[in-house]
Amino acid sequence: MACDAWREKLDTYLDGELASSDAAGLSAHLRSCAGCSADALERVLLKRSVAAAGKRYEPSSELRARVARSIGSKPQRQPDHSRGWVWKLLVIPATLVVILSVGVNLYVGRESARRLRVYGELADLHVATLASGTPVDVVSTDRHTVKPWFEGKIPFTFNLPELQGTDFTLVGGRVTYLAQTPGAQLIYRVRKHEISVFIFQDRGADMVKQSSGPNHAYSFTMENWAQNGFRYFVVGDVSSDDIQALSKLLRNAG
């Protein structure tokens, strides 16, 4: 059966390791097959449960600080004064370069890991939404209906773009959560493909700290940026041009 062939690829798809051509086909199949959609949703929920359980035992900031102090308290070698002041002048700048380089690499590495983690969670939310029998809680193509629906359900308000004359259609929206932060998830359609737009309050500790143009991750094209105190994420199995076009509309509306 066709479903059996697709189900064999579900885990690879959810892990973001499926080829883009197969990912597009599987995404289309999930929108038309209730059985495979339910299976995908079950696997997404299992992934999120495992991820949440794993975070319960992450080292605390206090533990990291103690380890850092322990490393820093190790006895240092006594300097060799016989090498002279010229050698010291050469060593000091080189040491500073190494320290700065390591610091930058650590920061970039942490930010990259943070962005991949957030993108992974958003990809799961996007797949779970499309696999659900009720992907949106407010169903409307009218932005003046969808926007007011969120009032009282999330602690902020936002603007939505006018889509007349574009290839995009608003499907509806729902309340969602990222790192226990409530936000809005909007579904747009372009040429039979669904795109999720996530809007959260921009909190650096929970979100990514740097904006990023369209890039491919977890079988989807994604983009994020901060604007007016909000963090926007656009996720979909569409081209970078489509992601950029919708992002531009959202930026102008915001």
Q: Which residue has the higher pLDDT, 24 or 129?
A: 129
Instruction: Give pLDDT tens digits for 136-188.
Output: 999 999 999 999 999 999 999 999 999 999 999 999 999 999 878 899 999 99
For residue 55, pLDDT over 90 is answered with no
Using CA atoms, how far residue 174 sits from 14, 137, 146, 208, 214, in Å, is 22, 5, 9, 22, 24
Q: Predicted confidence band at 42 (pLDDT cuts at 50, 70, 90)?
A: low
> What is the C-alpha to C-alpha distance for residues 216 and 207, in angstroms, rounded to an integer?
18
Q: Measured in Å, how far apart are the chain's first and last C-alpha atoms?
A: 47
For residue 250, pLDDT over 90 is answered with yes
Q: Can you give the pLDDT at residue 181?
A: 87
> What is the C-alpha to C-alpha distance for residues 119 and 217, in angstroms, rounded to an integer?
7
CATH number of 2-55+110-253: 3.30.200.100
Instruction: Give pLDDT tens digits for 2-30.
Output: 787 767 776 777 666 667 667 767 777 77
Q: What angle do CA 215, 219, 221 make, to 5 degrees?
A: 30
Mean pLDDT for the chain?
78
Contact between residue 221 and residue 243 where contact means Cβ atoms under 8 Å apart: yes
Range picked from 59-63, 73-77, 121-125 for highest mean pLDDT:
121-125
Q: Predicted confidence band at 210 (pLDDT cuts at 50, 70, 90)?
A: confident
* Percentage above 70 pLDDT, the chain: 64
Question: Residue 252: how many CA atoms within 13 Å on its side-chain side?
Answer: 9
For residue 113, pLDDT over 80 is answered with no
Mean pLDDT value across residues 34-48 = 65
For the chain, the 3-state helix, strand and coil shares in percent, each to the nearest 5, are 50, 20, 30
Q: What is the CA radius of gyration of the chain?
A: 23
Q: Which residue has the higher pLDDT, 37 or 252?
A: 252
Q: Edge-to-edge strand order for the sheet containing 181-190?
A: 138-139, 169-178, 181-190, 193-201, 230-236, 220-227, 212-217
Sketch the domain layout of the chain as residue ranges: 2-55+110-253
Q: Which residue has the higher pLDDT, 39 or 151?
A: 151
